[in-house]
Amino acid sequence: MTAALIFEQVLNGLQFGLTLFLMAAGLTLVFGVMGLINLAHGSLYMVGAFCCAWITQQTGSFWLGLGGGVLGAAAAGALIEMLVIRRLYDRDHLDQVLATFALILIFSEGTRMVFGSMPLYLNIPAALGGTMALPGVEAYPVYRLFIILAALAVAMLLYLLISKTRLGMRIRAGESDREMIAALGVDIKTLYTIVFALGAAIAGLSGALVGALRSVQVGMGEPVLILAFVVIVIGGIGSIKGALIGSILIGLVDTLGRIFIPVILKFFMENASANSIGAALSSMLIYLMMAGILAVKPKGLFNATN
């Protein structure tokens, strides 16, 4: 157990956490502005990954694919917002959960009809394929660093968009009082569609980026979706700052837990049981952490609607 290994795992945890942030940002934005709980967010992540993989296969260019993934997810988001989601804003959470659960079924089965059940493979672009030396780490994959930087850039852009632009001002106004900004003449319907499509685009970006690390397949969005829920519950629903901190926390705790819990347990017990108990414990760790945080702060760490 060296310092280099720990540093490498911290980077991995950061990368995992920041891809979670890209999911959680859209979820928390949509909840904060429209009060909607959207289970189909994971489907938009999947749409982004599939668009990216397909366009990359057709054109040979990962960058075109990445753009296509973002646009495809945004378009799918705008479409379902106008067809379905729009009717759910006034409903209770139960109806929202069920309708978006239905959307997951439709998206998953629709994707399976188009692309089949076999996973697609998306290669890391050649320019980002190698490894590079970092202080203490001899060879760290460049692509993972790229994901970290891209996600941080998105977080920065999102911050600027929301705090410095007219659109961001309207989004913030929509969060605090939607009737009032409608009365002030802002086209609230279009605003909602834009916010939803924005969240979808970020989810699609996340799917496309992660798709090159893992396989692109139906159902890939659901584990990420649930982790993103844990993130926004910990961070406080509606708070983008909370989502950023929550996702980095989850990414680090999950990644480091999986590496270090079995190691620590080996001091107390034999290897075989340390491995199995360690695996069970580390897969539950983030949920235990969530339970602990909520037992103390039932509305998350940074509640926006306080």
Partner 1 sequence: MQRTDTAPKPVSMPKLSRETIVNIAVMAILLALPLWASSIGEDYYVNLASLITIFAIAGVGLNFAIGQGGMVSFGHAAFFGIGGYTTGIAAFHSFEETLFVAMPFAISGTNQMLIIWIVAMVICGIAALAIGAISLRTEGVYFIMITLAFAQMIYYFAISWPTYGGEDGLSIYLRNQLPMVDAESALTFFLVCFILLLGAIFVSARLSGSRFGAALGTARMNETRLATSGIDPFPIKLTGFVISAMITGLAGALFAELNGFVGPSMLSWHRSGEIMVFVILGGVGRLYGPVIGAALFVLLETYIGEWTQHWQLLLGLALLGVVLFARGGVMGMIAGRARHD
Interface ranges with partner 1 (CB under 8 A): 31, 37, 84, 87, 93-95, 97-99, 101-106, 108-110, 112-113, 222, 226, 229-230, 232-233, 237, 276, 279-280, 283-284, 287-288, 290-291, 294-295, 298-300
Q: How far apart are CA 292 and CA 10, in angstroms?
A: 22
Q: What's the min distance (Å) between Cβ of 141 and partner 1? A: 26
Number of residues that make up the chain: 306
DSSP 120: B
- Min CB(218)–partner 1 separation in Å: 11
Q: How far is CA 43 from the centre of its chain?
A: 11
Angle at 32 between CA 27 and CA 34, to 5 degrees: 90
Shortest Å distance, C-beta 45 to partner 1: 16
Taking the complex as a whole, the smallest distance from the CB of residue 306 to partner 1 amounts, in Å, to 13
Give the nearer residue to partner 1 in terms of CB position, either 95 or 177.
95
State both tokens at 162. Answer: 């929301």
3 state DSSP class of 205:
helix
Q: Please, which residue, 112 or 172, has the CB nearer to partner 1?
A: 112
- Map residue 84 onto helix, strand or coil: coil
Q: Residue 98's closest CA among 52, 145, 147, 39?
A: 39
Give least dist CB 137 to partner 1, A.
28
Residue whose CB is less far from partner 1, 56 or 193:
193
Closer to partner 1 by CB, 59 or 283: give it.
283
Handedness of CA 209, 214, 217, 219 (dihedral sign): negative
Q: Which is nearer to partner 1, 151 or 286 (CB)?
A: 286
